[in-house]
Amino acid sequence: MQLRRKKPPKEAVSIVQSTQGYAAGQDLPVQLYAYELFEKVRRTVPIVDGAISKLVRLIGSFSVECADASMQAQLDRFLREVPVGLTGQSVYSFVDSYLDSLLVCGNAVGEIVLDRRGRYVAGLWNGRVRDVEVCAGTGAMQRQYYLRQGENRVLLPHPERILFSALKPPDGGVYGVSVLQGVPVFAEILLRLYECIGQNFDRAGNVRYAVTYKPSDDPAELAYAGERARQIAKEWADGMRAAKCGEVRDFVAVGDVDIKVIGAENVMPETEIPVRQLLEQMLSKLSIPPFLLGLNWSSTERMSVQQADILTSELEYYRRILEPVIRRIAQMFLQLNGCYADVEIVWDTINLQDETELAQARLHHAQAEEIEQGLADAGE
């Protein structure tokens, strides 16, 4: 027996008394600037890109269970084979790109694409958040979406097909906040440090020599000092060119000639501590344990477990944001196929270590019960 329901009645227009409403695009210029800034930080700082990519992968996979068992096979096939954009496939590919945009920009937008007659779901599309404006609709809980086309904007006629999520939006706001908020300041300093390191190695790492010829007080030698200096310079240049070609060549000079390495007395500035301090500030925003990014910082076993627990809570928070999006996709597919049954999102376990500890605890409990039972039998 299939579980089917009628469509819920259309909700009446609601009014919120504690707000004056939200005007379309009132803070969009700031958002557009922030999108470009955060995307630039990700492109230029490899550790930020690595942290974002790991968060997306660590979110894990999921399955969607339908209350109508007869529709489960069709739903599973749809989730595996639904086209995503021009090159992707499966709802998992869509969710990965959706979460990536949510983390970097603080907002994510997608669309459920139907065929021309609106009979079935033809695919999913990951949109660019900078191209879409969001504002309140006729009711306080209704949203309208506008597509930005240069200086103009066009109202999207089917808002029910648009998927939009915001990460920790401020009170009364619509647009969310990126996990990279505050990071660009430290990223700028970090890149400046690396630029200085490169320049210092260009100056001191690429060894340059100072060849000094000191003629004696002999008038005859002083008369030919210029000519000897030119000969020494020529021989030295020939020796350096031969060294570049892999040829070993001695440098022979007459007189008091002093050869020193330029900058050998100087010490390269220490950058390990300031770079680590900057990375700590940046990783604290991303909630990624340093060992997951290959940073060999001192860490105890207990500290690593605590960091893993913090990361687990962060991933669960992102899952709660993604669940309504996945549920809307699954429900629209089912409704277009005449089924209005409920769906449930079942996520895979994030941390296998937790499952291992629980299994170990159950084993110890069972062993304790067995020992107690054995003692009881022996007492009888």
Q: What is the pLDDT of residues 58-82, one digit of tens each?
A: 898 999 999 999 999 999 999 999 9
Query: Average pLDDT of 311-325?
Result: 91
How many helices (H) and strands (E) in the chain? 10, 12
Instruction: Find out whether 4 and 338 touch, Cβ atoms under 8 Å.
Output: yes
- More confident position, 124 or 355: 124
Residue 9 pLDDT > 60: no
Tens-digit pLDDT profile for residues 162-177:
999 999 888 777 888 9
Of 211, 116, 201, 128, whose CA–CA distance to 164 is shortest? 128
Reported in sequence order, the residue ranges of 56-131 that DSSP labels E, i.e. its strands, are 62-66, 83-84, 88-89, 107-114, 121-126
User: Which of 16-30, 147-161, 322-336 is the least confident region?
Assistant: 16-30
pLDDT reported for residue 1 = 39
Structure tokens at 366: 């069972």
Q: Is 156 exposed, middle or buried (0-12, 13-18, 19+ CB in 10 A)?
A: middle
pLDDT reported for residue 14 = 57
Instruction: Find out whether 112 and 121 touch, Cβ atoms under 8 Å.
Output: yes
Residue 40 pLDDT > 70: yes
What is the widest separation between alpha-carbon atoms in the chain?
120
Q: Is 345 helix (H, G, I), strand (E, B) or coil?
A: strand
User: Which of 5-9, 263-267, 287-291 is the least confident region?
Assistant: 5-9
Count CB-CB contacts under 10 A for residue 365.
10
pLDDT reported for residue 351 = 60
User: Which of 23-27, 251-255, 281-285, 341-345 is the least confident region?
Assistant: 23-27
- More confident position, 167 or 299: 167
User: Which of 69-83, 104-118, 252-266, 361-375 is the least confident region?
Assistant: 252-266
- More confident position, 233 or 132: 132
